[in-house]
Amino acid sequence: MTRLSLGDLVDLEARLLEEQGESEEIRRSRYRQLGLRLAEKQPLPEDPGALLRGLLRLDPRPTPPGPRFESGLRLLHSAIAILGLLLGGALSLALMHDSGRHPVNVLTVLAALVGTQLLLLLLLIVALIPRRDARASGPVQHLLRSGLTWILTRAGAAERMTAIQDRLDAHRGLLRWTLVRAAQVFGIAFNVAALAGCLYRIAVTDIAFGWSTTLNLDANAVHRLADALSGPWSWLTSHGTPSLDLIRLTQYSHLEGKYIVHVSGDRSADFARLGGWWSFLVFAIAVYGFLPRLIAFAVAGFWVKSILAATPRSNEDYARLCDWMRQPIVTTRLEGPDPERLRPPAAGADPEAPLPPEGTACELLDGGSVEQLLRERYGWTFDPGSTSPLVAVVSAWEEPTKGQLRRFASVRNRDLIVVLHDPSGKDDARRANIRDRWKRDLPKALAGVRVRVETL
Amino acid sequence: MTAPHFVVVGRVNKGKSSIVATLAEEESVPISDEPGTTRETRAYTVEAEGRVLFTLIDTPGFQDAPAALEQIRGQRRDASVTDAAVKSFVDTYKNSREFQEETRLLAPILDGGRILYVVDGTVPYSPDYEAEMEILRWTGRPRMALVNRIGPGDHLADWKKALGQYFGIVRDFDANKAGFADRLRLLESFRELDDESRASIDKSIAILKSEQQRRRREASRILSGLLIGALTQRDELKLEKHERAEDRLDEARGRLRKELSELERKAHAQLFALYRFKRLQSSELPSTGLTEDLFAEKTWKVLGLTHGQLLAGGAAVGAGVGLAIDAATVGHTFGLAALIGAAVGFGSALVRSGRTLGSEWRVVKQLIDGERIVRYGPLGKDNLPWILLDRALIYYRAVSTRAHSVQGEIAISEKDAVVRDFPAGERSRGTRLFSQIAQYHRDLPDDLGSELRGWVEDRLAALDR
């Protein structure tokens, strides 16, 4: 299954937008031609993704918005990565700054670099809950969307891009997930910089950690908290979990300006042990800050890719393009000019022959089988040598063809009675029409002869 | 591979043009009850991308076959060379007014056409047809007889017996009632005419089969597009500070109704065009009860689901949600969620059924100066999509089975309504899909659109069966 790139999808959406309002006939013909051109190079792939990709490569637009969208997105990623690096670095350097007057408060570092991140993680999970409106929502996503729009506007594709961005979200929230992924770039950069900042301070300065709080927390409570937080990495190393001793040792009073366990005024009972918090803090940032962002980035990336792979199959507009490319257009063409519609000929002008009265001797033509019936119905007699009216019997369902009319061409100076006979006795609209045409055509074919049409 | 030519011949007014129109799917073929409408031969070429699949040649009818046969017999020099006599007859009379029709219909046969001889099986056979059949036999070209049905009556057996003496293949084919399968069967029998045209006919059959599938797929897109349009339809109005949303309800409802009617009209026109009935697209629709305004009382009475079916559908959807909860609790809720879901679904369907169509609205934006943007719609979630679907399915069935030789209005009636006969499971599925789609105003997710289209296509396939 071929996966389209985000740029491909943007290009496809741009095509669809451009073609809005065009007649389907024209579009179908265009895509079939493209399909045929593609088929000249290689057999048309069954996979719709591959087919659509082939279409885009074969017939690129002069200024395709796809690459611009992709470069805009890359620019957004770079910008927020830089922002994340700067913020993460600055914050960690600031938080881990040991002026020498007071130790670095572990709880402040935890609250800023771990607590905030845990809160953001929770918000991220909420943001990932599937929702009816797949479009980008929430302040972070709005901010990122605005950023992307701003970048794309600078690239000169403003109007189209706004419409395309709306359409992207119809594909199972593609833009929303793209922005979720972008947000993770910021998170990763922020955490990398935070870790780097911390490690830098740890490596190049002798940081003394302490913890202090107005809340009624004793060392045991802080230990339980630290123990719980260090659960994920406690199996890896024992250095990552602060001991109860260390916690007791590093409880600090700002009022006294000294560690609480030492009332003598010494700044440190065991200077080397005061830095013991660093491994716990580094692990905490890595596990609660960096790792979730990395996982979220991977999940968002996977989701974006799966949407890109599924969209050619699940989107009806794309499926229709594939249909058009594959299916030959069947047409019917009339060779030569469209013939004029014929007008029915006008009725003949000769007066209708009167019905011969009973007892009239008539000549019978082709009616041997119905002679008795005619006698009974009309009371005529039949005399082959007579010059009296000629009675001709024809099938009631046969049209007055030239051949039929030619049979009466020799009739002169006598009345002609054409009897339309149907053994079934049916008389429907069709037969009535045929009767009318006999009435119309006979007088025209036999000028000067009085004719009459009867139904038997 | 040369595309075969089929020359459709027969006596006047026996349905030759109808057969051409039906086989070529071309409604522009002049068909008239008036005999002799076809004075000249007309070739209708069925093509796929400019490549000819086959050509159907409509011809004037035999006007005086017995006299023509007499002339042909007179021109016969050698007892074995009958086609030369026919050719000589055509050459002799081609510029004459005499035997004009006969020479015109025989010329394309002598040019290599295959013969499709058309008779009307609803009238009795008579021996005076033998002259026509004899002339055709003399041409020596591959030939097949088609027994058309123009009116009531059945003389098929007599015709088959008589035709069998002159034609190797005799087929019963009612041009005005032939559906796609009948047309395909007839094309398949063309294969038997001669080896030369077999490959070309096979290709045509394959292309037409795939075209038929494409049409059904496309029809399902048109129908699902109409349903999505109806379910996601909204109208936004800016209300002044003193105005209440209810004050503009009638105005919004009127606009939504007008829009929806237009949407439906377009969808029907697309459906007609898909099945190559362009004249139907532009002409008036048939004046039956089914063409009443979408919102007319009668339409709502005869189409869509019944009240009971709508309530059952609502209950089924609710039960489905409840079942999911029961499943999530691994049965710890003892099916209670399903029961509650069914009751809630039933109740909400009941409440909705009592509401006036299109009475939903909500404020979507509160402006600073007290003005508001209010979004009205959709017009209705419950029976409206079913009514739209019902009407569209009726038209689908009418055009997909209609032969192109048939003139005039589409023959449909209230009895053609189908959605009430859907299996209960399909009604529930439809209700669930409609209910999900109605929650969106725009940007319907691909998956939901695709699921609806697939469901509609299944319904179309069931109708086709």
Q: For residue B109, give the nearest of B141, B78, B138 by alpha carbon.
A: B141
Q: Any chain B CB within 8 A of the CB of A320?
A: yes
Cα-based angle A252, A258, A263 (whole degrees, multiple of 5): 105
Rounded-to-integer distance, Cα A50 and Cα A137, Å = 32
**CA distance to partner chain B, nearest, from residue A167 (Å):** 7
**In sequence order, what DSSP letters do the residues of B212-229 get, joined into one string?**
HHHHHHHHHHHHHHHHHH
Q: What is the pLDDT of residue A196?
A: 93
Residue B122 has pLDDT above 70, yes or no: yes
The pLDDT score that the predictor gives to residue B284 is: 46
CB atoms within 10 A of CB A147: 17
Lowest mean pLDDT among A195-209, B49-63, B235-249: B235-249
Ranges A79-93, B67-81, B174-188, most confident: A79-93
Predicted pLDDT at A85? 94
Question: pLDDT tens digits, residue range A63-121?
Answer: 788 888 888 889 999 999 999 999 999 999 988 887 777 888 888 888 888 888 888 88
Rounded CA separation B145/B148 (Å): 9
Check residue B289 and give its pLDDT: 46
CB neighbour list of residue B440: distance below 8 Å, 6 or more residues apart: A132, A133, B231, B232, B448
Half-sphere CA count of A149, side-chain side, radius 13 A? 15
At residue B310 the predicted structure's pLDDT band, cuts being 50, 70 and 90, is: confident
What's the confidence (pLDDT) of residue B283?
Answer: 46
- Percent with pLDDT over 70 in chain A: 89
Distance CA B228, CA B436 (A): 10
Tally A–B CB contacts below 8 A.
141
Pick A264 or B88 by higher pLDDT: B88
- Output helix, strand, coil percentages for chain B, rounded to the nearest 5: 55, 10, 35
pTM of the model: 0.80
Report the gap between the CA of A422 and the closest CA in chain B (Å): 9
Task: Give the residue on B whose Cα is nearest the Cα of A311.
Answer: B446
Query: Which of B146, B19, B120 is CA-nearest to residue A395?
Result: B120
**Residue whose tokens read 């001669």:** B194
How far is it, in rounded angstroms, from Cα B363 to Cα B236?
9
Q: What is the per-residue pLDDT for B144?
A: 93
What pLDDT is stored for residue A153 in this prediction? 75
Distance of CA B45 to the CA centre of its chain: 21
Q: Report CB contact under 8 Å: A339, B49.
A: no
Task: Judge: B42–A334 Cβ closer than 8 Å, yes or no.
Answer: yes
Please state the rounded mean pLDDT for residues B11-16: 86
**Main-chain dihedrals φ then ψ at residue A333, nearest 5 degrees:** -125, 135
CB atoms within 10 A of CB A338: 9
Residue A49 confidence class, pLDDT cut points 50, 70, 90: very high
Q: Which residues pair with B62 in a beta bridge?
A: B11
pLDDT tens-digit map of A146-190:
887 777 777 666 667 777 777 787 788 888 888 889 889 999 999
A347 compared with B450, residue with greater pLDDT: B450
Residue A302's contacts (CB-CB under 8 Å, 6 or more residues apart) are: none
Q: Residues B141-170: what's their mean pLDDT?
A: 88
Contact A379, A373 (CB under 8 A): no
Which residue in A169, A313, A399 is closest to B13 by CB distance? A399
How much is the pLDDT for A325? 92
Q: How many CB atoms lie within 10 A of CB B165?
A: 9
pLDDT of residue B1: 59
The DSSP H or E segment spanning B343 is helix B336-353
Q: Which two three-digit tokens encode residue B384?
A: 């409206």
If you average pLDDT over every residue of chain A, what do you get?
82
Task: State what percent of residues in chain B have pLDDT above 90.
Answer: 19
Q: Is the pLDDT of residue A52 over 90?
A: yes
Does B214 sit within 8 Å of A323, measured CB to CB? yes
Q: Is the dihedral of CA B404, B406, B408, B413 positive or negative?
A: negative
Determine the Cα–Cα distance for residues A194 and A85; give it in Å rounded to an integer. 8
CB B357 within 8 A of CB B384: yes
Residue range A249-300, pLDDT digits in tens: 888 877 777 777 654 555 555 666 777 888 888 899 999 889 999 999 999 9
Confidence class for position B454, pLDDT limits 50, 70, 90: very high
Q: How far apart are CA A253 and CA A270, in angstroms?
A: 17
DSSP strands (E only) in A119-265: 209-210, 252-253, 258-259
B47 to A331: CB separation less than 8 angstroms, yes or no: yes
Q: Residue B53 in contact with residue A450, Cβ under 8 Å?
A: no
pLDDT over 70 for what percent of chain B? 91
- Is A334 a residue whose pLDDT tops 90? no
- pLDDT band at residue A423 under the 50/70/90 scheme: confident
CA distances from B379 to A419, B279, B358 (A): 65, 31, 4
Looking at residue A30, what is its pLDDT? 92
CA distance to partner chain A, nearest, from residue B296 (Å): 31
What is the rounded average pLDDT of the residues B239-253?
82
| Partners of B6 in beta bridges | B56, B114
Interchain CB contact of A430 with B (< 8 Å): yes
B35, B45, B444 ranked by CB distance to A335: nearest: B45
Q: What pLDDT does A301 receive?
A: 92
Q: How many residues does chain A have?
A: 456
Measured over the CA atoms of residue A126, residue A132, residue A133 and residue A134, the dihedral's sign is: positive
For residue A134, pLDDT beyond 60: no
Predicted ipTM of the assembly: 0.80
CA distance, residue B23 to nearest chain A CA (Å): 10
The closest CB to that of A401, out of B63, B123, B446, belongs to B63
Question: Which phi-psi region, left, alpha or beta, contains residue B408 (left: φ > 0; alpha: ψ -120 to 50)?
Answer: left
Q: Range with the lowest mean pLDDT among A67-76, B376-385, B443-452?
A: B376-385
